[in-house]
């Protein structure tokens, strides 16, 4: 499949045509009961918590390299594998897998646009038989380009060329709903709830580039800036990260600790 460049966000019809490619691995992060009912032919199931680490109260952290190597090797990923990820909830879990692969140094990946909803609702083939993964050898080559931590963000808070994009609900952003010791948001962050990027009339696909740009520009989120996405555990904001990458943003980072870390650290400022 090395000669076939699949897009970052892949449409169901293109994936169906590509299922026979060598080195293609489809990973399903849907609930296990949904996977057992129906999935893309050949898809391997991945239980989302396996790619997440926690150091309470900070959740949603990146596992260490050894853990990532074990998980990705067991799934059947090596340096030549093109991973196509999807889920049944709009793409948050799938996007977090792709972001984690990028942090681990893996470059070949795609998000199935619309996930299971688009695939099933538009008549693409489904199967229910489980497929055991064929193990390969994955070597983590840690890439810090897509990764931000609280220290990095603290240094950038007053920077004119950096924007923080909070993908949580407006109530979380405004401090009405509180899921940490402190409520509110990182100073200077703007808010775009992650689901606003999803088109419910098009089987949970991403909205068009034009629609997304029109939402982002008034918030000061433009491709010339560095943008750091966060939510509560970098699950929702991983979807926002992939959405921005699809739009051509190049200076992009995701904050894995997100509000579960920032909101529970009394030494960090809150707005």
Whether residue 3 has pLDDT greater than 90: no
Do the domain assignments include residue 154?
yes
Residue 167 domain boundaries:
147-262
Residues, the chain, total? 271
Question: What was the pLDDT predicted at 2?
Answer: 43
**Are residues 121 and 15 in contact, defined by beta-carbon separation less than 8 angstroms?**
no
Q: Are residues 153 and 107 in the same domain?
A: no
Helix (H, G, I), strand (E, B) or coil at 165: strand
Tell which phi-psi region holds residue 89, choosing left (phi > 0), alpha (psi between -120 and 50) or beta.
alpha
Do the domain assignments include residue 132?
no
Q: 29, 52, 231, 252: which one is catalytic?
A: 231
- Asked which of 104, 121, 138 is the last residue of a domain, the reply is 121
Do the domain assignments include residue 51?
yes
Tell me 175's DSSP state.
Answer: T
Q: Are residues 107 and 160 in the same domain?
A: no
- Asked which of 103, 121, 139 is the last residue of a domain, the reply is 121
Q: Tell me, yes or no, if 162 is annotated catalytic.
A: no
Q: Which pLDDT tens digit goes with each residue over 34-60?
A: 999 999 999 999 999 999 999 999 999
Whether residue 77 has pLDDT greater than 60: yes
Tell me 78's DSSP state.
Answer: -
**Are residues 86 and 28 in contact, defined by beta-carbon separation less than 8 angstroms?**
yes
Tell me 43's DSSP state.
Answer: P
Helix (H, G, I), strand (E, B) or coil at 205: strand
Helix axes 209-216, 236-246, angle to 10 degrees: 110
Q: Which pLDDT tens digit goes with each residue over 181-239?
A: 999 999 999 999 999 999 999 999 999 999 999 999 999 999 999 999 999 999 999 99
Look at the chain and report how many structural domains it folds into.
2
């Amino acid at each position: 499949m090395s000669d076939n460049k699949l897009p970052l966000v892949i449409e169901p019809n293109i994936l169906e045509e590509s299922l026979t490619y060598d080195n293609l691995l489809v990973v399903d992060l849907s609930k296990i009961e949904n996977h057992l009912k129906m999935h893309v032919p050949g898809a391997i199931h991945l239980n989302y918590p396996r790619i997440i680490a926690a150091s309470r109260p900070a959740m949603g952290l990146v596992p260490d390299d050894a853990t990532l190597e074990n998980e990705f090797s067991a799934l059947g990923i090596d340096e030549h594998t093109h991973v196509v990820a999807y889920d049944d909830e709009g793409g948050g879990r799938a996007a977090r897998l792709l972001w984690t692969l990028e942090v681990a140094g893996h470059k070949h990946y795609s998000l199935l646009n619309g996930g299971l909803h688009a695939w099933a609702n538009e008549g693409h083939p489904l199967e229910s038989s489980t497929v055991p993964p064929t193990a390969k050898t994955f070597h983590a080559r840690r890439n810090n380009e897509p990764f931000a931590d609280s220290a990095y963000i603290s240094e950038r808070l007053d920077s004119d060329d950096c924007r923080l994009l909070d993908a949580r609900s407006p109530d979380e952003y405004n401090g009405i709903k509180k899921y940490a010791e402190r409520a509110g948001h990182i100073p200077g962050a703007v808010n775009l709830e992650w689901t606003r990027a999803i088109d419910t009339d098009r089987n949970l696909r991403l909205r068009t580039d034009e629609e997304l740009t029109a939402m982002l520009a008034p918030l000061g989120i433009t491709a010339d800036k560095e943008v750091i996405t966060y939510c509560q555990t970098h699950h929702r904001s991983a979807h926002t990260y992939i959405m921005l990458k699809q739009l051509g943003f190049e200076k992009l980072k995701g904050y894995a600790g997100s509000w579960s870390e920032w909101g529970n650290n009394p030494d960090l400022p809150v707005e």
